[in-house]
Amino acid sequence: MLSEQFKKDRPYLERKFKTQICNPATGLDNETLKSNLIRLTEELNGEPHELIKAKAFRYVCENLVIDVNPQDFFVCFGCWNRYDRPLSFLMSKWEDEVNKNCLKELKTLEEQNASGSSKMWKDFDHSVPDWEAVLSLGFPGLLERVKTYRRKCEADGKMGLDEKAYYEGLEITYAAILKMLDRFHLYALEHSDGNQRVKAVAACLDSLRKGAPSNIFEALQLIYLFFIFGEHIDRFQVRSLGNLDRMLYPYFQHDIAEGRYTEKEIRDFFAYFMMQWASIDNYWGHPFYFGGSKANGETEINDLSYLILDVYDQLDIPTPKLQIKIAANTPVKFIDKALDMIRRGHSSIVFLSENAIRRALLGQGCTEEEARTCVISGCYEFIPQGRGNGTCAGHINMLKPIELLFHNGRDPKTGISCGIKTGELSEFKTFDEFYKAYIQQLEHIIESVLKCANDFEKYLHRINPAQVYSGTIENSLKTAKDAFHNGSVYNISGILNAGFANAVDALMVIKDFVFEKHEVNLAEFRDILQANWQGHEKLRLKILNSKNKFGNGIESVDSFAEGLALFLANKINMRPNSRNGFFAASMHSARQFIELGEKTGASPDGRLAGEEISKNASPVMGMDKNGVTALIKSVTKIDSALFPGDFPLDVMMHPATVQGNEGLNAMRSLLKTYMDKHGIAIHFNIFDANVLLDAQKHPEKYEGLQVRVCGWNVRFNDIAKREQDEYIKRALSIKE
């Protein structure tokens, strides 16, 4: 149970990151801080970006307003608003400079993005520090390690200007962090007013400014501090709070054995800890993860896993979000607890298969050990701990090539010629010829995306040097290269896609209706799509009712889909990127299933212009008419190892299906079968159309109602009506 004190403090915690609540006497107001930062960085113009950013970072640490509040266990930073972070201006400025002065492919990039063929941006949202290093060294230890590597570089005679800027930037940054801990410590001492909790926070800060954490409270405070320094000040999303149950278990055991904290107190720490992210309320959610296997083959699930899961259950919050690495050794009891939470609507949980991840990572040249201990980051991405960094460099619209093909390489809505000329429609005499042209258009998009990504990813470290993050990555320190740019062992650029299932369905429709049944010819089809099906509703319904759709376990369709997936993966995986690494194909769509959908006209599969396109490895909404088993069969026909970026599946079921013990057992069996068939990630939406419809009418009755989007949860009330309608449409097609 959550403590009474926590319940009293919860309103404060919910407000903490939604409004400025720090003591104004402790520093500058945000507007002054920002204008001073602009002046400071202008004065430094001409210095390496690493130094300018580090000095700006230091200025923030010295001048930001702060608080240590008796209603919280965690300190409060003045930069509470993640949309308005103090160093954002610097990143925007340097991005503009790079766009203007350095990029050779900017026009292609802008055209691709405008036409919706793909979506690319410079991704600074997927960094995971080496949490082992953070916890074992603490901030002082991390700084010492930077200095050691700097001396080594000097001794080896390798210290050039770039190296010097790199190390100096890190030293300034970490020294500033320590200085800010001093500020927090002093403030807590001076303002405790006899309050036991503030005193405890002061003691915790005192310990952290001197070294590594020695108990679970200090470890949690350190994770939180690192997160704010990294994400809110240094402006890199920290896309995983780490393998919390495994990392923190030794502290937990020690604290309980020593009698330092009771289990009840530790539950409280976790409740306050998780509320920090609930309050930040990042739309995409902030992940932490559980599970996996030890080197000896035993499960990593321990008493602390159950404790944290239970606290998380009781908080009923969509973020932080939880990823669970499942292996054959994962206890059934633990899986059942998580599945039960999901069917009760506490569903911000995704399951990942340790074995399927292993296959994918070994295929990228990782070792067994790197695969076993990999970090789960972002929504479901996985990367070797402390040795890998993966960006999301671009998203490919799998449906766009069809639109381009109908208009000989030109996007009809924007008029942009972003495709290639594949010929007039009358020239396609067979489906194979049509498909060949689709592949040519697709390949053109893939090549454009890789070319653009290689162009702009060369400058990631110029736009936003990753100093807080690099300080934790040993390979970066060894090589004096930015860990987010090219200083990791695995510098991977993910290429995601959306609309895969739409593309399969649309191509099947062309095959059946144009080339086999001759119900409509290509020129007519082009005009029908241009008219957004107006006047052709019968044909549209016939197409929507036709059987050959991905996700129904139909052998011919699934084999076709597999072929398309093979091509996509083969054109992306292991191709060199511009960061001393390589590209990795991903079946993840993030939010692009909505955004690229908006930029895509009506499609042959019966979809209307602007509607959502399919996400992840999942079928087109409502087109999987043979149920969840057929769906899993279709999806796992594709070898997930071909998508080392990640391979997630969305499953939607009616609450009646999963009720009772039988329902829980069925969910578990489904999970197991998906993973036996090498599916990587799977998550569930359990909902009833009637509930969603009622929630749309009476939002006040459903304040806690969550739906899973695509690797993150949102409150149903918080999404646009159009998005709500898509969920309702989908829910209506689920059979009990």
Partner 1 sequence: MSTEGIVFEIKRFAVHDGPGIRTTLFLKGCPLRCLWCHNPESISPHPQLAYYAHKCINCGECVSVCPEHAHAISLEKLHYFERRKCRSCGKCETACLGNALQLYGMRMTVQETLNAALEDRDFFGDDGGVTLSGGEPLLQADFCFEILTALKRQAIHTALDTCGQVKWKTMSMILNCTDIFLFDFKAANPQKHHKLTGSDNRQILENLQKLSDAGAEIEIRMPLIPALNDSDEDIHEAGKILSNLHIKSIKILPYHNMARSKYDALGMANKIPASSSQDNVNSLHAVEILRNYGLEIN
* Binding stretches for partner 1 (CB under 8 A): 538, 541-542, 545, 553, 626-630, 632-633, 657-658, 660-663, 665-666, 669-670, 672-673, 676-677
Closer CB to partner 1, 367 or 545, in the complex:
545
Helix (H, G, I), strand (E, B) or coil at 219: helix
Q: What is the DSSP string of 316-336?
A: --S-SEEEEEE-TTS-HHHHH
Provide, rounded to whole angstroms, the least separation between the CB of residue 662 and partner 1. Answer: 5
Provide, rounded to whole angstroms, the least separation between the CB of residue 569 and partner 1. Answer: 24
Closer CB to partner 1, 327 or 658, in the complex:
658
* Residue 350 β-bridge partners: 323
Provide, rounded to whole angstroms, the least separation between the CB of residue 359 and partner 1. Answer: 18
Provide, rounded to whole angstroms, the least separation between the CB of residue 516 and partner 1. Answer: 16
Q: What H or E segment, with its residue span, contains residue 715?
A: strand 713-715
- Spatial separation of the C-alpha atoms in residues 449 and 577, rounded to whole Å: 11
Closer CB to partner 1, 175 or 691, in the complex:
691
Closer CB to partner 1, 2 or 541, in the complex:
541
- Spatial separation of the C-alpha atoms in residues 637 and 559, rounded to whole Å: 8
Closer CB to partner 1, 359 or 542, in the complex:
542
In degrees, rounded to 5, the angle at the alpha carbon of residue 643 between the alpha carbons of residues 641 and 648 is 100
Provide, rounded to whole angstroms, the least separation between the CB of residue 304 and partner 1. Answer: 30
Burial of 290: CB neighbours in 10 Å, binned 0-12, 13-18, 19+ = buried
Helix (H, G, I), strand (E, B) or coil at 588: coil
Closer CB to partner 1, 701 or 722, in the complex:
701
Closer CB to partner 1, 396 or 632, in the complex:
632
Cβ(320)–Cβ(281) below 8 Å: no
Cα 18 versus chain centre, distance: 22
Provide, rounded to whole angstroms, the least separation between the CB of residue 66 and partner 1. Answer: 54
Provide, rounded to whole angstroms, the least separation between the CB of residue 445 and partner 1. Answer: 34
Closer CB to partner 1, 239 or 633, in the complex:
633
What tokens does 277 get? 């992210």
Residue 388 has phi, psi (to 5 degrees) of: -135, 150
* Residue 708 β-bridge partners: 713
Residue 317 has phi, psi (to 5 degrees) of: -125, 145
Closer CB to partner 1, 329 or 673, in the complex:
673
Helix (H, G, I), strand (E, B) or coil at 599: coil
Q: What is the DSSP string of 536-586?
A: -HHHHHHHHH-S--TTS--HHHHHHHHHHHHHHHHHHTT-B-TTSSEEEEB
Alpha-carbon torsion, ordered 80, 84, 86, 89, to 10 deg:
170
Closer CB to partner 1, 181 or 628, in the complex:
628
Provide, rounded to whole angstroms, the least separation between the CB of residue 672 and partner 1. Answer: 7
* Residue 396 β-bridge partners: 118, 497
Nearby residues of 106 by Cβ (< 8 Å), 6 or more positions away: 99, 455
Provide, rounded to whole angstroms, the least separation between the CB of residue 654 and partner 1. Answer: 11
Helices of type H across 457-521: 460-463, 467-470, 474-479, 500-509
Residue 102 has phi, psi (to 5 degrees) of: -115, -35
How many CB atoms are closer than 10 A to CB 692?
21
What tokens does 427 get? 């020239």
- Spatial separation of the C-alpha atoms in residues 554 and 561, rounded to whole Å: 11
Provide, rounded to whole angstroms, the least separation between the CB of residue 541 and partner 1. Answer: 4
Provide, rounded to whole angstroms, the least separation between the CB of residue 544 and partner 1. Answer: 9
Between 30-43 and 88-101, two packed helices, what is the crossing angle to 10 degrees?
40
Provide, rounded to whole angstroms, the least separation between the CB of residue 628 and partner 1. Answer: 5
Closer CB to partner 1, 441 or 634, in the complex:
634
Closer CB to partner 1, 429 or 538, in the complex:
538
